[in-house]
């Protein structure tokens, strides 16, 4: 009985502790999202409001701007996320040995991440503008130049920018997971003749799922933050290869097209929720198996 | 102590927000408009508001004029749009279309143009997005308004299906003044070439015959107004093709190359003549440029009563242009100059690329979707469609008949039509608009008493202009649209500006790529609206 009372009290203590945060989340995130969800089912505002059901969603599926933006955004995520995971994992593995000896190395990795957006944009333009450094070098060695920021190449510039800016942060996240793996596991497996790849497959990766999950989450958030640089480089309507969902949202707001904004927000939320849920389910499954 | 200090700091920051930076709401009947000339729509808006305030003394009215300074405007409009989407937007919108506003200049006889980003980039899209209230039931039951006197094609532009969201208040239409006595025109008629064809065809004829004077007289617009209907808003499709855009750009490039240097030569010559004319009048040192006197010589100077009367050379027929593109804005000037020069010209509508007659709404009124008192909002807006407001009855005047160099009444009117455009109540409008024109010139203050007397005699001698002088107003309009706004770099005008250098010579820019970009930007405009 005493144990139950203590558990209940602990539970209530927990609730009271998270109550301010919970209230804040409900007021500033949940409630607005419910309003957005409602507005996605209506057309017009105020006196002109009219319930249309899923009509807005149907119209959005045939909207060229939305399809372009959605396609570009998914393409960017599908290419950039695996790349950043692989690259940062590799760097983290290399640095694992050095991290303990060189603490400043971790700080250096974060420099691109903390660089102000305006400085990043200036750097990109200095490198990739039509009269930029890259074209100058190409011209000198006799190769054809390109309009890197206003052509199909702009997509790869943005992918490169994202990787350069956020790899260091992903490395830090993965490194923090790697250093928690006991060295004994590697020593014992080494004695048994395990190769590097076997150690990676059977020891490292199984114990890194949580870290990988959080790295995916933060990398995904940072991928959407890339819009700031793209916006400053390309404006409200950049080259079609880097026209993202945030451009679409930004521009529909200026045109007061609330139903379109609401639909895009709902679609994005559904996709991200699905991705997170599946990832979390995968990680939980792996962790349960490990247990 | 620390927490009290932090709390005080928080309160100071929270209450420090300036109310001037925040759009108005909270139970006030709120009207949003743009700045105009002092005798123009702002004056009408205030006059109408006074009438409404008298009828509803217990209601608080607020006429909000949007700022024009770029950074302040961006910030204000952002907040205003957020309020609109949150359900707290203005009750009434009274807005010009397009991205250019006419305001007072330092000298009252002249006006300035200010470029802005409009609150609504596309009124047609805004109507379909539902930011306005349907007022069709008020309009169709308004027996006193005499809607039969309003230009129906223009009024229909404010409808989507059976709902009326916008009341067009003023409009404009491109017209071509044709001198039938000009050799070029006679040759065209003899060769069976009709002037009533698309402007593009006339330009092609001018280029084919190497007739630079005809090319100068014609004008190809820098915006998309030459194209027939651009968008099917209900289907969400773009009706113009990339090839059509490229063809137009190519034609524009060639036309500009053919006409630019000749036009520049004419305007420079005109400036020299006007300057020489002023030099004769003065015996003291003269400013280096006419601009210091607030005088700018533009293409419109070739169809201006003032310019012709001051120089005698500033007219398109004197410069041997066989035809001259203008708009309804220049119709009265042209009609009066016909009398002064004892000539007669035809006025025909400038046709779009597909041969249709088009017009644009230049000023509109609408009731906001969040308006709680639609009755009052309509009562306010309908005033702008009455004869008094449409026909300059509300425009301020003083008695200037006895003005002279030593005694000058305050200048209360700017030159030209309100909002440089035609009233939508255009049946029987001309006598009233002509009356305004006479008033403007009756108080002319010349450099010498002799000049004043000459001008006043000319004005008195001018016969009243009637509807017969404006046959072009009888033309049916096929399509009336609202101008769309896009960021400068996304516009057709921006693309066209890259086709020729400052001397008018074609550049080697990739025209197809530019056309593709313009096409893509138009698609995005529709997709994002």
Give the pLDDT confidence of A106-138 residue by residue, as tens digits.
Answer: 778 888 889 999 999 999 999 998 889 999 999
Whose tokens are 């609401």? That residue is A262
Q: Is A196 on the interface with B (CB under 8 A)?
A: no
Give yes or no for residue B492 having a pLDDT over 90: yes
**What pLDDT is recorded for position B109?**
59
Tokens 């950074």 correspond to: B71
**Nearest CB to B369 within list A46, A66, A243:** A46
Cα of B461 to nearest chain A Cα, Å: 52
For chain A, say whether B134 makes contact (Cβ under 8 Å). yes
Return the minimum-mean-pLDDT range out of A131-140, B263-272, B385-394: B263-272
> Dihedrals φ, ψ of B303, to 5°?
-140, 50
Return the minimum-mean-pLDDT range out of A175-184, B65-74, B119-128: A175-184
Residue in B480, B420, B340 with CA at minimum distance from that of residue B40: B420
Q: How far is A171 from chain B (nearest CA, A)?
A: 38
**Contact call for A256 and B126, based on CB within 8 A:** yes
Residue B139 has pLDDT above 80, yes or no: yes
The two beta strands, B358-367 and B479-481, are parallel
Read off the pLDDT of each residue in B72-87 and give the average, rounded to a whole number. 91
CB-based contact (8 Å) between B434 and chain A? no
A4/B contact by beta carbon, under 8 A: no
Q: In whole numbers, what is the pLDDT of chain B averaged over residues?
A: 85
Give chain A positions within 8 Å (CB) of B84.
45, 256
Q: Per the CB < 8 Å rule, is A46 touching B370?
A: yes
pLDDT at B107 over 90: no
- pLDDT of the residue at B471: 84
Q: Does B369 sit within 8 Å of A49, measured CB to CB?
A: yes
Q: Which residues contact B144 (CB under 8 A, 6 or more apart)?
A: none
What is the C-alpha separation between B328 and B171, in angstroms, rounded?
Answer: 9
Q: What is the pLDDT of residue B497?
A: 94
Question: Quick one: pLDDT at residue A9?
Answer: 81
- B102 within 8 A of B37, measured Cβ to Cβ: yes
Q: CB-CB: which of A44, A59, A257 is closest to B528?
A: A257
Query: Is some CB atom of chain A closer than 8 A to the CB atom of B81?
Result: yes
Partner residue opposite B527 with nearest CB, options A44, A66, A254: A66
Phi, psi angle pair for A51, to nearest 5°: -75, 130
Q: For testing the chain B interface, which of A66, A242, A248, A256 should be mutated: the one with the most B CBs within 10 Å? A: A256
User: Residue B338: which of B358, B324, B357, B359 has the closest Cα?
Assistant: B324
Tell me, what's the pLDDT at B17? 40
Query: Per residue in A77-112, pLDDT tens?
Result: 999 999 999 999 999 988 887 766 666 777 788 888
User: Is B73 touching A (CB cutoff 8 A)?
Assistant: no
pLDDT-derived band at B299 (thresholds 50, 70, 90) equals confident
CB environment A107-143: b (16+ within 10 A), e (fewer) = eebeebeeeeeeebbeebbebbbeebebbeeeeeeee
Kindly identify which residue of chain A lies nearest to residue B128, measuring between CA atoms.
A44
Asked whether B374 and B363 are in contact (CB, 8 A), the reply is: no
* 3-state class (DSSP) for residue B132: strand
User: Quick one: pLDDT at residue B292?
Assistant: 61
Instruction: Specify the 3-state DSSP secondary structure of B42.
Output: helix
The model's pTM: 0.85
Chain A neighbors of B236, CB-CB under 8 A: 59, 62-63
The rounded distance, in Å, linking the Cα atoms of A62 and B259 is 44
| pLDDT confidence of residue B5 | 44
Expressed in percent and rounded to 5, the helix, strand and coil fractions of chain B are: 45, 15, 40
Closest-approach residue (CA) in chain A for B367: A47
Helical pair B511-528 and A245-254, crossing angle rounded to 10 deg: 70
CA distance, residue B31 to nearest chain A CA (Å)? 17
Question: Going by C-beta distance under 8 Å and a sequence separation of 6 or more, which residues neighbour residue B224?
Answer: B230, B240, B484, B492, B522
Residue whose entry in the numeric block shows the structure tokens 């194209």 = B227
Across the range B324-334, mean pLDDT stands at 90
Residue-wise pLDDT tens digits, B207-234: 999 999 999 999 899 999 999 989 999 8
β-pair type (B166-172, B422-423):
antiparallel
> What is the distance between the alpha carbons of residues B209 and B508, in angstroms, rounded to a whole number?
25
SS3 string of chain A? CHHHHHHHHHHHHHHHHHHHHHHHHHHHHHHHHHHHHHHCCEECCHHHCEECCCHHHHHHHCCHHHHHHHHHHHHHHHHHHHHHHHHHHHHHHHHHHHHCCCHHHHHHHCHHHHCCHHHHHHHHHHHHCCCCHHHHHHHHCCCCCCCCCCCCCHHHHHHHHHHHHHHHHHHHHHHHHHCCCCHHHHHHHHHCCCCHHHHHHHHHHHHCHHHHHHHHHHHHHHHHHCHHHHHHHHCCCCCHHHCCHHHHHHHHHHCCCHHHHHHHHHHHHHHHHHHHHHHHHHHHHHHHHHC
Give the model's pLDDT for residue A205.
87
State the pLDDT at residue B281.
60
* Rounded CA separation B288/B294 (Å): 12
Q: In chain B, which residues have their Cβ closer than 8 Å to the Cβ of A149?
A: none
Best A36, A40, A48 residue to mutate vs chain B (most B CBs within 10 Å): A48
Q: Indicate whether B380 pLDDT > 90.
A: yes
pLDDT surpasses 70 at A2: no
Q: What's the mean pLDDT in B455-479?
A: 79
Which pLDDT does position B20 carry in this prediction?
39
Mean pLDDT of the residues in chain A: 88
**What is the structure's pLDDT at B105?**
78
CB contact under 8 A, A46 and B524: no
CA–CA gap between residue A18 and residue B103 (Å, rounded): 57
pLDDT at A235 over 80: yes
Identify any residues that bridge with B113 across adjacent strands, giving them in sequence order.
B102
Residue B344 neighbours by CB under 8 Å, 6+ apart? B180, B338
Whether residue A256 lies within 8 A of chain B, CB to CB, comes out as yes
For A14-28, A273-287, B230-244, which range has the lowest pLDDT when averaged over its residues? A273-287
Distance from CA of B221 to the nearest CA of A (A): 24
Q: Rg (Cα) of chain A, in Å, rounded? A: 24
Å between B423 CA and nearest CA of chain A: 28
A positions 48-87 inside 8 Å of B (CB) = 48-50, 59, 62-66
**B342 has a chain A CB within 8 A of its CB:** no
Least confident of A176-185, B20-29, B250-259, B516-525: B20-29
Q: Is the ipTM of this complex over 0.90?
A: no
Which of B366, B524, B525, B526 is most worth mutating to test chain A (most A CB atoms within 10 A of its CB)?
Answer: B524
How far is CA B272 from its chain centroid? Answer: 29
What local confidence, expressed as pLDDT, does residue B275 receive?
A: 76
What's the confidence (pLDDT) of residue B282?
57
Mean pLDDT of A223-227: 88
User: What mean pLDDT do residues B197-212 have?
Assistant: 89
- Residue A43 at interface with chain B, using a CB cutoff of 8 Å: yes
Confidence of residue B465 (pLDDT cuts 50, 70, 90): confident
> What pLDDT, on the 0 to 100 scale, is given for residue B403?
66
Give the pLDDT of residue B69: 92
For residue B42, the model assigns a pLDDT of 94
Cβ of B212: how many Cβ atoms within 10 Å? 18
């Amino acid at each position: 009985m005493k144990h139950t009372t203590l558990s209940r009290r602990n539970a209530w203590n927990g609730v009271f502790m998270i109550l301010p945060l919970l209230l804040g989340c409900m007021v500033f995130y949940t409630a607005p999202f419910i309003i957005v969800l409602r507005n996605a089912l209506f057309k017009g505002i105020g006196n002109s409001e009219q319930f249309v059901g899923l009509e807005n969603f149907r119209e959005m599926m045939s909207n060229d701007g939305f399809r372009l933006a959605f396609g570009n955004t998914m393409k960017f995520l599908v290419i950039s996320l695996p790349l950043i995971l692989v690259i940062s994992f590799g760097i983290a593995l290399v640095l694992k040995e050095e991290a303990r000896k060189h603490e400043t190395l971790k700080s250096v990795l974060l420099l691109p991440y903390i660089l102000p957006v305006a400085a990043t944009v200036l750097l990109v333009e200095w490198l990739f503008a039509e009269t930029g450094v890259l074209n100058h070098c190409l011209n000198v060695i006799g190769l054809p130049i390109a309009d890197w920021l206003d052509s199909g190449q702009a997509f790869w510039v943005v992918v490169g920018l994202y990787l350069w800016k956020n790899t260091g942060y992903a490395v830090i996240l993965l490194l923090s997971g790697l250093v928690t793996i006991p060295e004994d596991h590697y020593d014992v497996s080494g004695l048994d003749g395990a190769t590097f790849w076997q150690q990676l497959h059977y020891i490292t990766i199984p114990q890194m799922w949580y870290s990988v999950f959080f790295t995916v989450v933060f990398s995904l958030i940072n991928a959407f933050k890339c819009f700031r640089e793209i916006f400053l480089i390309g404006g409200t309507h950049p080259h079609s290869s880097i026209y993202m969902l945030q451009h679409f949202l930004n521009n529909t707001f200026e045109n007061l097209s609330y139903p379109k904004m609401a639909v895009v927000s709902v679609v994005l939320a559904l996709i991200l929720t699905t991705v997170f849920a599946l990832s979390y389910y995968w990680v939980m499954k792996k962790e349960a198996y490990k247990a | 102590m620390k927490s009290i200090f932090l709390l005080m700091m928080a309160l100071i920051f929270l209450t420090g927000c300036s109310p001037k930076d925040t759009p108005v709401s909270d139970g006030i009947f709120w009207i949003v408009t743009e700045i105009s000339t002092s005798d123009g729509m702002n004056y009408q808006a205030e006059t109408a508001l006074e009438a409404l305030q008298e009828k509803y003394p217990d209601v608080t009215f607020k006429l909000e004029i949007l700022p024009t300074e770029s950074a302040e405007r961006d910030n204000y409009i952002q907040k205003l749009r957020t309020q609109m989407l949150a359900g707290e937007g203005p009750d009434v919108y009274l807005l010009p279309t397009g991205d250019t506003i006419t305001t007072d200049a330092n000298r009252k006889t002249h006006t300035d143009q200010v470029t802005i980003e409009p609150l609504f980039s596309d009124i047609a899209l805004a109507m379909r997005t539902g930011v306005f209230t349907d007022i069709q039931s008020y309009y169709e039951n308004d027996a006193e308004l005499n809607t039969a006197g309003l230009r129906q094609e223009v009024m229909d532009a404010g409808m989507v299906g059976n709902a009326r969201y916008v009341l067009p208040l003023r409009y404009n239409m491109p017209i071509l003044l044709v001198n039938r006595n000009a050799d070029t025109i006679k040759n065209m008629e003899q060769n069976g070439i009709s002037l009533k064809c698309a402007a593009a065809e006339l330009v092609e004829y001018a280029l084919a015959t190497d007739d630079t004077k005809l090319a100068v007289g014609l004008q190809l617009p820098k915006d998309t107004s030459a194209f027939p209907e651009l968008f099917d808003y209900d289907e969400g499709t773009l009706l113009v093709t990339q090839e059509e855009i490229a063809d137009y750009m190519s034609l524009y490039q060639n036309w500009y190359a053919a006409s630019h240097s000749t036009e520049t030569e004419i305007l420079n010559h005109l400036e020299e003549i006007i300057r020489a004319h002023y030099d004769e009048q003065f015996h003291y040192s003269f400013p280096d440029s006419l601009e210091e006197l607030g005088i700018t010589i533009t293409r419109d100077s070739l169809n201006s009563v003032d310019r012709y009367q001051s120089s005698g050379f500033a007219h398109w027929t004197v410069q041997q242009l066989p035809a001259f593109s203008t708009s309804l804005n220049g119709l009265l000037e042209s009609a009066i100059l016909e009398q002064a020069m004892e000539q007669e010209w035809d006025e025909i509508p400038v046709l779009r690329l597909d041969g249709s007659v088009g017009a644009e709404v230049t000023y509109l009124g609408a009731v906001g979707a969040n308006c709680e008192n639609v009755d009052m909002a309509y009562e306010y807006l309908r005033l702008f469609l009455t004869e008094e407001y449409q026909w300059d009855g509300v425009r301020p005047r003083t008695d200037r008949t006895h003005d002279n160099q030593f005694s000058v009444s305050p200048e209360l009117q700017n030159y030209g039509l309100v909002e440089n455009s035609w009233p939508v109540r255009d049946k029987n409008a001309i006598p009233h608009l002509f009356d305004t024109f006479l008033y403007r010139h009756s108080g002319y203050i010349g450099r010498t008493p002799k000049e004043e007397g000459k001008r006043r005699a000319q004005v008195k001698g001018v016969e009243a202009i009637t509807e017969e002088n404006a046959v072009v107003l009888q033309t049916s309009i096929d399509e009336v649209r609202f101008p769309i706004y896009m960021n400068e770099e996304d516009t057709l005008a921006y693309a066209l500006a890259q086709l020729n250098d400052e001397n008018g010579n074609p550049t080697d820019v990739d025209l197809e790529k530019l056309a593709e970009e313009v096409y893509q930007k138009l698609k995005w405009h529709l997709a994002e609206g």
